[in-house]
Amino acid sequence: MKAGPSQEEIRRHNLGTLLRHVHIGGSMSRAVLAERMGLNRSTILGLVSELGAAGLVREELPRETGRAGRPSLVVRPESDRVYVLAFDVGVDRMSAARIGLGGVFLDRREIPVLPGPRDAGKVAEVLAGCALDMVGAARRGTHCVGVAAAVRGTVRRSDGLVRAAPYLGWEDEEFGEDLMRRLGLGLPVSVGNEASLGALAEHLRGAGTGCQDLVYLHGDIGIGGGVVTGGQLLGGDCGYGGEIGHMVVNPRDGRPCGCGARGCLEAEAGERALLEAARRDPSSTGREAVHAVVEAADRGDIVARAALRDVGDWLGIGVANLVNVLNPRTVVFGGTLREVFLGAAAQIRSRINRLALTASRENLRLRVGELGDDAVLVGAAELAFSEILVGPLETLARAGARTA
């Protein structure tokens, strides 16, 4: 419990808040900003001028107003003055992007890889090379102000240590530190769990916009989860919160899970369970394989239908538990679970209706992710933008000093 801030801290807070408003909400007039921030217009004018002078926002005529009369100017984020680097260390590909204020993708690269263990140093080397290429291609006078990477695994919040990422064969890897060294940009690299970052992304820019209590389930090789509660990402004690895929839903006769337990949601409702139940080639995994099962069920294939129903049942049980414990407003299905949800929505909903308390589920919305495959990268970018949205001018000054 700290004391209230000083005048200077308030100024910085206000600059950061205004920048965050246009970064997340897009172009808006000074009048709207004044209302949302609870400040008078002259204060807003001062803040906009300061951010404008720094090149972080610009005032311009709105694209279209739909109203008669002279339109008022809108404040929009400058996507070309500062950017962040975002990485997603995926199962069968790695992605890197250079993303500007407002969440604009300025550059992006995809690196297909074979699923399976990967040397952490090699991953950092490849991603750093790719990123430095993007940095080199950026316009002169633009600054990198943050770097973040997403992995599918448990990541310690305090220092970004990757505690475990079985799909990569990683244990206690100082991946962020390594990536930072190889980038040589003088910026720390934040590392986060892929589904937590997906949750953040869908909360800020996707299916959960405006919703303060959200659960995000991300399917690919496993089932990752991220929880937003009261508008904040739930990290828990060390940042490992949100491991929804390892909630045990079938303790009595559950399938073995990669984590060593049995009956985890991931083991019962993950990609592998679906493909096995649908009697598909277990070596063919990934988006296409899941899609093929959903399509077959659509066409009336009985085995595929039963498989989807089974997986939908387990997902419904898992979501019902989360609804009782977390009372979210929105549950978002992303990654391959997007397809699964579309094929098993009725089953999932019916389980939730039977198992979740009436009060807890009555306003519940089930949604598919709106950001598609980009959710994780977008979330990583938001993590990387954290610093400039707290102290815009200081962060920019530091970036300028590094480049000079």
Task: Decide the pairing of beta strands 330-335 and 214-219.
Answer: parallel
* 227 DSSP β-pair partners: 215
Coil, strand or helix: which one is 256?
strand
Smallest gap, in angstroms, from Cβ of residue 263 to its own copies?
9
247 CB-side CA count, 13 A:
23
Cα distance from N-terminal residue to C-terminal residue, the chain: 39
Smallest gap, in angstroms, from Cβ of residue 307 to its own copies?
18
Are 333 and 369 spatial neighbours (Cβ–Cβ below 8 Å)? yes
Smallest gap, in angstroms, from Cβ of residue 254 to its own copies?
9
Q: Which is nearer to its own copies, 133 or 171 (CB)?
A: 171
Smallest gap, in angstroms, from Cβ of residue 22 to its own copies?
11
Q: Give the angle 48-50-53 at the CA atoms, nearest 5°.
A: 105
Q: Which is nearer to its own copies, 77 or 143 (CB)?
A: 77
Q: Which is nearer to its own copies, 185 or 331 (CB)?
A: 331
Q: How far apart are CA 162 and CA 206, in angstroms?
A: 27
Contacts of 362 (CB under 8 A, 6+ apart): none
Smallest gap, in angstroms, from Cβ of residue 210 to its own copies?
12
Smallest gap, in angstroms, from Cβ of residue 143 to its own copies?
24
Q: Which is nearer to its own copies, 186 or 231 (CB)?
A: 231
Chain residues that interact with its own copies, rule: CB under 8 A: 1-5, 9-11, 13-14, 17, 20-21, 36-39, 43, 154, 156, 163-164, 212-213, 225, 227, 229-230, 232, 234-244, 246-253, 259-261, 317, 320-322, 324-329, 354-360, 363
Q: Which is nearer to its own copies, 6 or 283 (CB)?
A: 6
